[in-house]
Amino acid sequence: MPDLLRRRIAASIAMLSAAPMASWAASPIGSAVVDVRRHGARGNGVANDTRAFQAAIDALPQSGGTVQVPAGDYLIDPVVGVQLRSRMHLAMSPGTRLLAKPNAAERAYVLNAHRVSDTTISGGRIIGERSSHKGTTGEWGHGVMIRASERVNVRDLHISHCWGDGISIGGTKVGAAFVPSRDVTIERVVCAGNRRQGLTIGRSRRVRVFDSEFIDTGGTLPGAGIDVEPDEGDIADDILIARCTVRGNEGAGIQLYKRVSDATVRDCLIEHNRGHGILTVGATDCRIEDNRIRMNVLGGVGVRPGTRSLIVARNEFDDNGPAGNSAGKKRGGKRHVTIAERTEGIRVDADNRYLD
């Protein structure tokens, strides 16, 4: 095994061992505390509270601080969105619900973290408007958008029924250069019933996803629970997905798609997805280890052209592959791991277990 790959594996193991303390070291934020209710938020599910949220955020001093959101139903206009800032914590109570106002926009975000740093979002729920969306096009109606930002932590949040993704992490173009997001942690988050993806990881470096659920995604392609797919012009590098449940998605459970390097999927339950449990296309230096991968319709792990230096080790596979067709007949044969042509350095270790 090349020395570089050994070092990357060792670094990933060390990071996983430290997972409970995995939030990136952030610059300290100020001690100021601002309550959205004191800036006019009603929380009755009828009044538009977008401006009140923004006023509370804008009232923080330069040193930053915490914006508290008491329990209530807060109507937020995603076309305007709540623009987060650096050195802030948006602290929602367990009884907080942000309700996306129905709109016809192709691109709209409930919470928008654009070019910020040292920002935390915690608690509560975001409920999207996919069932009442007024348009028919677009796929970018996200619950949380993180773009070109650093040291962002999203934790203990439930996001459902968005027109696009529950959470999208990516970069932006500044002049001739792409600026990726860096050092983003997703912890104890549930993304359920969103239309495009549960979580998209695009142009980024060092993203950690722990102890979260990505379930029942579907409505437009790719329909993955987690899609690691940077747009052209940049990469996604150093990604760790650990101890997550990925279930019941219309596409792949987890997709590692082109321009992805050094990604690890470990200790996850990946089941009942209508695509592959895990699909790799053109990814490099990745590891799929210690997962339970079961009852995925198209197969357990699908390795597609362009994939290089992939390790599949210590996974438990069960009943992946057979699916009924329109006549009710089943395709025979299990497809726990399938490897296409034009791949390189694919290692499927003998310590994988195949129950059926």
Q: At 67, which CATH number?
A: 2.160.20.10
> Up-side HSE of residue 111: CA atoms within 13 Å toward CB?
33
pLDDT of residue 22: 54
Beta strands in 115-249 (DSSP E): 117-122, 125-127, 140-147, 150-155, 158-160, 165-170, 172-174, 177-179, 181-187, 190-192, 197-201, 204-210, 213-215, 224-228, 236-242, 245-247
pLDDT confidence bin for 101, thresholds 50/70/90: very high
The predicted-structure confidence for 299-332, as pLDDT tens digits, reads as follows 999 999 999 999 999 999 999 997 544 444 454 5
Question: What are the structure tokens assigned to 109, written together?
Answer: 């975000």
pLDDT, position 333:
62
Identity (one letter) of the amino acid at 271? E
Q: What is the pTM assigned to this prediction?
A: 0.92
- Tally the domains of the chain: 1
pLDDT band at residue 283 using 50, 70 and 90 as cut-offs: very high
d(CA 192, CA 245): 11
For residue 9, what are the domain limits? 3-354
Tokens of 252: 């792949």
Question: What is d(CA 41, CA 69) in angstroms, rounded to the nearest whole number?
Answer: 9
